[in-house]
Chain A
Amino acid sequence: MKKVYIYKAYERFWHWSQAFLIFFLAFTGFEIHGSFVFFGYQNAVTYHNMAAISFLILIVFTMFWHFSTGEWKQYIPTFTNIKAQINYYLIGIFSKAPHPTRKTELTKLNPLQKLVYFGLKVLLIPLLAISGLLYMYYRYEDGGQVKSLDIDGLSGIASAHTLGALLLIAFVIVHLYLITTGTTVFSNLKAMLTGYEEIENDEEEKNSGEKDFID
């Protein structure tokens, strides 16, 4: 086993602020959706919009970080080993089979993660961001007058935004569960907190892996 520095400071900052914002947006969002009363409707809307703007700023910084560090390449989806990864989660995991892919600084995402996170980044988050921006700004003030984009009401925008939000929550549920499937139950969580994760050595891994296959 060796300790590897996997998640850099900015990455952890990004992850945890994003996590907080998503929870906060979901909470205030459900209040706006009429699910419960907590902050009060007007406050919920104000906080939701403030959190949304913060999230957009975070996204801009994170995009810059991804491109300037080259980390964006981590998210290029690949179909190699994806079957093995699915098999692992469906079958192998129960017999303590080893992870079919190795986590290193260079490839911290397994093929399934790559696919899902890629989907998040190019489909779900943009869906939420764009529908959210339209939600906030399809009516706007211009020279002391209130104007509106020529769209047939809020129905489409609100439905898209709600759908995106519900799917993101489904993702978060699975995500929260899957972080327990690391080397130990808490190793992934610890890694995202400290940046360091204990990873089996290359050689050890190879050997043990072979052994496992022989077994």
Chain B
Amino acid sequence: MKKIFIILLLINAIVISVITVLVKNQSTESKMEILKSRFSKKHIQSVDHTKFAILQQQFKSPQDVTKACLSCHTERGKEMMHTSHWQWSRDEFIKGRGVVKLGKKNILNNFCIGISGSEQSCNRCHAGYGWGDKNFNFAKQENIDCLVCHDNSGEYTKATGGAGMPDSTVNLSKVAQHVGQSQKTNCGSCHFFGGGGNNVKHGDLEKAQLDCSREVDVHMSNEGTDLRCADCHTTNHHQIKGKMYSVSSMNKDRISCTQCHTQTPHKENIINEHSIKVSCQSCHIPTYAKVNSTKMTWDWSKAGKLKNGEEIEEDDSLGNHTYMSIKGSFMWQRNVEPEYAWFNGTADHYIMGDKVDTSKPININTLNGDYSDPNAQIIPVKVHRGKQIYDTKYNQLIEPKLFSAHKGDGGYWKDFNWDIASKIGMENIGKKYSGHHTFVRTQMFWPLNHMVAPSEKAVSCIECHSSDGRLKNLHGFYLPGRDENATVEFIGLGAIITSILGVIIHAFLRIFHNTKYNRKTKTVNPE
């Protein structure tokens, strides 16, 4: 009877534990299902653009398409005119500089340096048509490129070196009839390929995210919630939230994880409490450029080598260019561990004309903040290190003309003459070139926000809390496991060593005297 009871009890226990495990699994699964259904619900279009008569025509120019769009969406043109996607410039307040107009229009980087003189090529990614030189008319609404962001046919592309005009193969009426909300591919067509190729600039934004595992990007993965860019980069009257501090400066209109997650999402308080000084990204983006390589260095000083008058290209084992005559030499990396920086949401930039100190790498952009700043957190960054052209006499960086369609127009990529390219590039923005140049080290900081890994892949404690950890180059604060107070160590370890020595000496003396004493008593006793 007793045995049967025990056996029944055992069976019960097994059944209950199996059920609990199953129920638990089910709940995590269904949580993912809920998230999936919430975010990957297909948007049902309220109108079918194929049915509009105005779109059923053979468009002669892309501008005609825009006019057709604006004939219904009458106010959207005005909205677009005020966005940075159109202006490539924003009013930014920078401490020490005041309000300045900054953006891709006038800012430098250490990839293809700047747009001056190269608009035909660079401005392929402008959300407009025909910005081929400095005389572009920003007031003409028909120059807005609606399609690059709203094409849902997947067939729209812009021409190389075409100043933002669509490729000649594009069937404009088909594209115009298949417009809708911006998809990953729309944003990605520019933001994945900045710098002249996939994943060159950001390192955490690339074409692999269109179809990737949760390990690569837990948010964008089609195995998971399959978020579109615009799910987080929410948009109001064409003003899209989110800042990239390669071109932005102010702490506003930023995106944060807490748009969806709470401020205390971890079970362990101690991890939640890190958030006061450590950004979510620091732990949850353990590596970037997880699928395809990203460019880590760019040395322009090596550019210009020709073989029998012909340009040369060299590749690494993964097929990335390591040398190009027109651009110099590069280093690429895949699965890169980020560097880390304090960041309070404000940044400064190298602005054309700034004088520089060439004894150390010049910051193309500077992320502000330090430990004592209550608004600052540690963030992961990609640091892109470059060597780029600099005017030795005027002590400033040069924005050379790189692109030209034909030989003899002065673009470096055709004529390989830095002096002419520099002169044209600088004059184009109303600055002078002294005629003397060299190449100086520069660095650029790219905050990493994408390629968030699943929680189990997050950076573990010891990876920062150790003397040779990820944060070894961040100073000005006490990090347990990494830091120690030299005076405390000296006094404390001194006390311990003194104690040990004292004890040893004392014990030795005791044993020594003890044997002496015993001998004495022994010799005394017989008497």
B371 touches which one: A34, A42, A153, A177 (CB < 8 A)? A153
Find the A residue at minimum CB distance from B372: A152
A148: chain B residues at CB < 8 Å are: 276
Shortest Cβ distance from residue B302 to the other chain A in the assembled complex, whole angstroms: 42
The answer to whether A154 touches B492 (Cβ under 8 A) is: no
Closest A residue to B270 by beta carbon equals A45
- A: number of interface residues (CB 8 Å): 39
Contact with A along B487-524 (1 / 0, CB 8 A): 11101110110111011001101101110010000000
Q: Is the interface of B mostly helix, strand, loop or mixed?
A: helix
CB <8 Å contact, B478 and A173: no
Tell me if B264 counts as interface (CB < 8 A to partner A).
yes
Asked if A154 and B488 sit within 8 Å, CB to CB, the answer is: no
A112 within 8 Å of B (CB atoms): no
Please encode chain B, from 456 to 469, with 1 for each CB lying within 8 Å of some chain A CB and 0 for all others: 00001110011100
Q: Is the interface of A mostly helix, strand, loop or mixed?
A: helix
**Complex Cα–Cα for A141 and B512 (A):** 60
**Does A123 interact with chain B (Cβ within 8 Å)?**
no
CB-based contact B517/A173 at 8 Å: no
Any chain B CB within 8 A of the CB of A40? yes
Question: For A162, what are the chain B residues with a Cβ–Cβ distance below 8 Å?
Answer: 484-485, 488-489, 492
Cα(A177)–Cα(B498), bound, Å:
13
Contacts of A41 in B (CB 8 A): 460-462, 465-466, 481
Is A95 on the interface with B (CB-CB < 8 A)? yes
Residues of A near B372 (CB, < 8 A) are 152-153
Q: Are A163 and B492 in contact (CB under 8 A)?
A: yes
Q: For A171, give the chain B residue with the smallest CB separation.
A: B499
Cβ of A32 under 8 Å from chain B = yes
A174→B505 CA distance, assembly (Å):
12
Question: What chain B residues lie within 8 Å of A171 (beta carbons)?
Answer: 499
A211 at the interface (CB under 8 A from B): no
Cβ–Cβ contact B510 & A93, under 8 A: yes
How far is the CB of B422 from the nearest CB of chain A, in Å?
47
Partner of B276, one of A95, A139, A144: A139
B278 to chain A, nearest CB (A): 11
A37: which B residues are within 8 A, CB to CB? Answer: 462
The docked-state distance in angstroms from the alpha carbon of A173 to that of B500 is: 7
Report A197 CB to chain B, min CB distance, Å: 20
Identify which of A139, A140, A159, A177 contacts B506 (C-beta below 8 A): A177
Interface pair A146/B276, CB less than 8 Å apart:
yes
Q: Which of A33, A163, A177 contacts B503 (CB 8 A)?
A: A177
Cβ-defined contact, B485 with A158, below 8 A? yes
Q: 26 A-B Cβ contacts within 8 A?
A: A34-B467, A34-B482, A37-B462, A41-B460, A41-B461, A41-B462, A41-B481, A94-B509, A94-B510, A96-B517, A139-B273, A139-B276, A140-B269, A140-B273, A146-B275, A148-B276, A153-B478, A154-B477, A155-B483, A155-B485, A158-B478, A159-B487, A163-B491, A166-B493, A170-B496, A174-B499
